[in-house]
Amino acid sequence: MKIKAENGNLIDAFNREGRSIFMKGPIVEEVKYDHNVVSSLSHSLEDSDEKRELIMDYPTDYVIYYSKKGKTANTYEVYVGETNNIGRRTLQHLDDDPRERKDWERLANVDEVKMLVIGHEHFNKSLTLDIENRLMLYLSSVDAVKKLNNRRSNSQNKYYTSTEMEKIFTKLWRKLNKQNQELFPLESIIREKAIFKASPFHSLTKEQSVSRERIMDKVSEALKEEKRGQLIFVEGEAGSGKTVLLSSLFYLLSTLETDVSMRNYLLVNHDQQLKVYQEIAVKLGLTKKGDGAVSKPTHFINTHSPNDPVDVILVDEAHLLWTQGKMSYRGENQLVDLLKRARVVIVIFDKHQTLTTEEYWEDSEMDELRESAKRQNNLIQLRNQMRMDADPETVEWVKSMVYDRKLSNIPKDSRGYDLKIMTSPENLENEIRKHVSDKEIKENGLSRMLATYDWKYIQQKHPDNGDEYWNVEIGDWKKAWNLQLKQSKEEKRNNKSLSWAEQPQTINEVGSTYTIQGFDLNYSGVIIGPSVKYRNGRIIYDPEASFNSKAIQNRTLKDHSKIKVADELLANELNVLLTRGMRGLYIYAVDEELQSKLLQLQKEKDYQ
């Protein structure tokens, strides 16, 4: 039988197996996870020979799970897999795997474990592997899932039916959501989780994939030759996919089957990002709570001796490593101390996200670091910008404003990126609030207000003017700085593992670089405070107007001389804030000359 395609040509309406090429929805069959899986599936599918064949004889994906009743909600332990023979694979899990792995032993001995078997008429090996990987990506981001089992990352490249994967998966997830909304929440909810954005199960771009292979080869070589203090330096600007690459590397290294157990550590000097990585590691069984495998650099340095080096240390946001002593850290440079304690150190670095004097690198030190990595062919550069869904001209406009200190015409973005100058802080807040309704969050995700650190904020101390909170104040408008609004015990418990932007009450706060760095927003409203001015046709940075003491204090160099580096650090602060929004950026400037120039450019853009 022939049908007419979009181009007018006649094509076959059936594939080589005689099946219709018109794609139907996925098949999902739920049965009890036990030795009777085959007979249970046969019984439930006895009314349809086609469905029975797709489930029993073709490649399938499957989800094995059981739930525990909690005080407020159920929690789940889940295993995701794919197979060419669901009957044989299930018996292997029940009879063979428990001898080798405790997670399978537990699943084999718990009552009421269920199994979802997923089939589709277009499934082949590559497509089921891709669906398996996407299920891992989504389920690892579900709050109710406390343990997720698998031991591989199976994202595929191009294959015969690869273009169908997204459509099939969306239909599948919607079907699963109808069966169990607790275990399979709406896609839009999952995609806004910080843990989703840092998951190791994202499909890598070609640039990321090549970089990961190169790094793994370097790690393997260093371990075989028993090298020590090898530095792999990965650099890229905001939105270049550094975090996903690092997370993927950590998962891959932690699940490698080797003769000797590898000792791998993931370190980050950022409280919000640390929470995300710790949750990922515990949920995927890569580490146990409290074992320090995911921690801050100071904790690692203080608990590990150079005499017993670990295998691999991965450092996210390495531009936040301290380059001078500070309270609990008594060394002179955290990266130097980490290199003494590991065979391989992989750092993710962006010089434009160094924010404080204690993280500041002298030019000679940084050049030496990069050149050392380059000589060993260990310098990896990520060049693609993936966060801002904007034209290159829009991205360049932001970059030129921050670092070239120039304000040029605001480009009209062909991708629909919403870059807009607001007339007041009230209007900026209203614009952001348009994007936080239930419907908007489901469709577009999280949006928040941010500001340069130009208003006083002292942690664990109340303002001396009688206010309840430290506020960002402009005229009659004011909002509390981040992480201050009071929460009930239940809210604190629910928000414990959430990043600042994910917590519901933070729509009534203003975020700083210290809470938003490393995270994405869909729409960000940035208040540029008085530390950023416009004079004589150029942007200037004014340390006297900043309350960011960590950026404006003097920096002591190696030769013991003191210099001011605020001009560079305040530019980096502005860069971090202006590059958070994936779909839109709204700006209000406190400095009158800067605000006037920005509004002029907005007016010219509107009349184009």
pLDDT tens digits, one per residue of 15-58: 544 444 455 789 999 999 999 999 999 999 988 889 999 999 99
Task: Tell me the pLDDT band of 102, cut-offs 50, 70 and 90.
Answer: confident
β-bridge mates for residue 418, sequence order: 584
pLDDT tens digits, one per residue of 311-335: 999 999 888 888 887 778 888 889 9
Q: What counts of helices (H) and strands (E) characterise the chain?
A: 22, 24
Contact 127, 154 (CB under 8 A): no
Please give the pLDDT value at position 445. Answer: 66
Contact 78, 145 (CB under 8 A): yes
Q: 69: how many CB neighbours lie within 10 A of its CB?
A: 7
Q: Rounded to whole angstroms, how far apart are CA atoms 600 and 594? A: 10
pLDDT tens digits, one per residue of 169-190: 999 999 999 999 999 998 888 9
Helix axes 206-224, 242-255, angle to 10 degrees: 40
- Count CA atoms closer than 13 A to 44's CA, side-chain side: 15
Query: Could you give phi then psi for residue 397, rounded to 5 degrees?
Result: -60, -45
* pTM as predicted: 0.82
DSSP 272: H
Please give the pLDDT value at position 26. Answer: 93
pLDDT at 141 over 60: yes
Q: What dihedral angle (degrees, nearest 10) is formed by the CA atoms of 47, 49, 53, 54?
A: -70
Between the two ends of the chain, the Cα-to-Cα distance in Å is: 54
Task: Tell me the pLDDT band of 154, cut-offs 50, 70 and 90.
Answer: low
Mean pLDDT, range 102-112, rounded to an integer: 85
Percentage of residues in the chain having pLDDT higher than 90: 58
Residue labelled with tokens 């593992």? 497
Task: Tell me the pLDDT band of 94, cut-offs 50, 70 and 90.
Answer: very high
Mean pLDDT, range 558-562, rounded to an integer: 81
Amino acid at site 275: K
Please give the pLDDT value at position 11. Answer: 41
Q: Rounded to whole angstroms, how far apart are CA atoms 44 and 178? A: 19
Please give the pLDDT value at position 177. Answer: 96
Amino acid at site 227: K
Residue labelled with tokens 């990506």? 137
Q: Please name the residues in contact with 542: beta carbons below 8 A apart, sequence gap of 6 or more.
A: 530, 531, 532, 533
pLDDT tens digits, one per residue of 489-523: 888 888 887 889 889 899 999 999 989 988 889 99
pLDDT at 286 over 70: yes
Task: Tell me the pLDDT band of 442, cut-offs 50, 70 and 90.
Answer: low
Please give the pLDDT value at position 5. Answer: 41
Q: Please name the residues in contact with 398: beta carbons below 8 A apart, sequence gap of 6 or more.
A: 388, 575, 578, 579, 585
Contacts of range 83-89, beta carbons closer than 8 Å, 24 or more positions apart: 83/59, 83/128, 84/58, 84/59, 84/125, 86/37, 86/38, 86/41, 86/55, 86/56, 86/60, 86/62, 86/117, 87/37, 87/38, 87/56, 89/62
Candidate from 153-162, 218-227, 272-281 with smallest mean pLDDT: 153-162
Q: Rounded to whole angstroms, how far apart are CA atoms 569 and 548? A: 10
Contacts of range 429-433, beta carbons closer than 8 Å, 24 or more positions apart: 429/477, 429/479, 429/525, 431/523, 431/525, 431/586, 432/507, 432/523, 432/524, 432/525, 432/586, 433/507
Please give the pLDDT value at position 9. Answer: 45
Query: Could you give phi then psi for residue 59, rounded to 5 degrees?
Result: -60, 140
Residue labelled with tokens 């404080």? 356
Please give the pLDDT value at position 441. Answer: 58
Q: Rounded to whole angstroms, how far apart are CA atoms 205 and 216? A: 16
Give which of 520, 521, 518 is closest to 243, Cα–Cα. Answer: 518
Contact 41, 29 (CB under 8 A): yes
Task: Tell me the pLDDT band of 343, cut-offs 50, 70 and 90.
Answer: very high
The 10 Å CB-count burial string (b at 16+, else e) for 212-227 is: beebeebbeebbeeee
Which H, E and C letters describe 274-286, residue by residue?
Answer: HHHHHHHHHHCCC
Coil, helix or strand at residue 132: helix
Report the length, in residues, of the chain.
608
Q: What is the mean pLDDT of the chain?
A: 88
Please give the pLDDT value at position 337. Answer: 94
Higher pLDDT, 608 or 461: 461
